[in-house]
Chains A and B, each alone.
Chain A
């Protein structure tokens, strides 16, 4: 299935053709790939051809790209995917097969399903097969051990602050890992907490507004669907701090599907998982695993490739499924 290029910037001139919007939505759900390039904060979608290749060379003109992988849920074994080890391996193979090795890889959480030591072990063994350094944030499924996240932090918390947040720079892009899967309160969305927000203020102080910023969390930083808890209650405070930057990309997992929005210079993007799909917001009574026909499963799982071109600071996002 081909995908059609489209601009997703905020439009005030004329309504988009509804049939075209429907087509784009269908394309996303069928799992067809799309590449996003940001030019001066304006995102542009490029077509992928039937082979999953980008047809416009401009989209891949950069010299730096990284991959996002998410929601591997090692240990899950129910109907929606009895074998997430296998689908993670397919995802890893896909990353290995990329024509240019990614500079780094982000894992946006829910590495394991139940935070068991053996699940972390299995995941680590598999993820070793990735061709570049992996940077992690925890998902709430990684905090279920008796120590409430101790196992995760022992493995991945070295050099991080608080419950595992940190930042680093690579190829002129400032990466910020935020953690929003601790201290849940009844009836509330996820939170970052005052300490982490204070750290973020401090962290951003040294970053020039012309520097592309990539923020990654597990649970969406913006509220996608409050009744299912798909959002971060104090995420708007973090987003407010990011508005002055020329190019901001906010990545997350948790909801096991691709949803995007653009606000000014900020692109929000949620990635597919590699374990099982979940329903679109509000389309089912509950957000539990969605069982699809076995031969369709890989259409709903995937990875995201993000490309940055220095100079103009564009970032491109390419979602691809495991098919």
Chain B
């Protein structure tokens, strides 16, 4: 029984850490994605938050994911399960570009 409690305690400790590690935020500010390039492990959830006074979008170049218009403080999330390189841009201000590399290494 003692051993079961120890294992459970360990799991409780691990779960929040692993959840935290698999969530990343990208800040949209001054017409830029920050960070512009990101390397993440498969299964990571990326959340974009718009800090500008005008709306922006997050649109993957091959339409893998595409947010609606994000007004100030609005967010959009996507979970990257498949390894690969994902390039995206703002469909309103296409000079805004970003890149996410999903790799198990």
| A interface residue numbers (CB < 8 A to B) | 78-80, 113-115, 140-141, 144, 146, 184-189, 227-229, 285-289
In the complex, B78 has a CB within 8 A of chain A: no
Q: Which residue of the partner chain B has the closest CB to A80?
A: B53
A229 to B87, CA, bound (A): 18
Known A140-B92, A187-B95: A113·B55 in contact at CB below 8 Å = yes
In the complex, B61 has a CB within 8 A of chain A: yes
A71 to B89, CA, bound (A): 23
Known A287-B31, A288-B30: A186·B68 in contact at CB below 8 Å = no
In the complex, B52 has a CB within 8 A of chain A: yes
A133 to B53, CA, bound (A): 32
Please, what's the 1-or-0 string for B56-80, where 1 marks a CB less than 8 Å from any CB in chain A?
Answer: 0001010000001101100000000
Q: Which residue of the partner chain A has the closest CB to B32?
A: A286
| B interface residue numbers (CB < 8 A to A) | 30-32, 52-55, 59, 61, 68-69, 71-72, 87-89, 91-95, 97
Interface of B is mostly: loop
A140 to B93, CA, bound (A): 9
Of the residues A189, A285, A288, contact of B53 by C-beta under 8 Å: A288
Q: In the complex, are the beta carbons of B95 and A229 less than 8 A apart?
A: yes
- Interchain nearest-CB distance for A129 vs B (Å): 26
A67 to B88, CA, bound (A): 39
By a CB distance below 8 angstroms, the chain B residues around A144 are 55, 68-69, 92
Q: Which residue of the partner chain A has the closest CB to B93?
A: A229
By a CB distance below 8 angstroms, the chain A residues around B95 are 187, 227-229
By a CB distance below 8 angstroms, the chain A residues around B30 are 285-286, 288
Q: Which residue of the partner chain B has the closest CB to A187?
A: B97
Q: In the complex, are the beta carbons of A78 and B53 less than 8 A apart?
A: yes
- Interchain nearest-CB distance for B58 vs A (Å): 12
A-B contact pairs, 18 of them (CB 8 A): A144-B69, A144-B92, A146-B68, A184-B91, A184-B94, A185-B94, A186-B89, A186-B97, A189-B94, A228-B95, A229-B93, A229-B95, A286-B32, A287-B31, A288-B31, A288-B52, A288-B54, A289-B54
By a CB distance below 8 angstroms, the chain B residues around A146 are 68
A144 to B72, CA, bound (A): 14
A289 to B87, CA, bound (A): 27
By a CB distance below 8 angstroms, the chain A residues around B32 are 286
Known A114-B69, A115-B69, A286-B31: A186·B55 in contact at CB below 8 Å = no
Known A286-B31, A288-B31: A186·B94 in contact at CB below 8 Å = yes
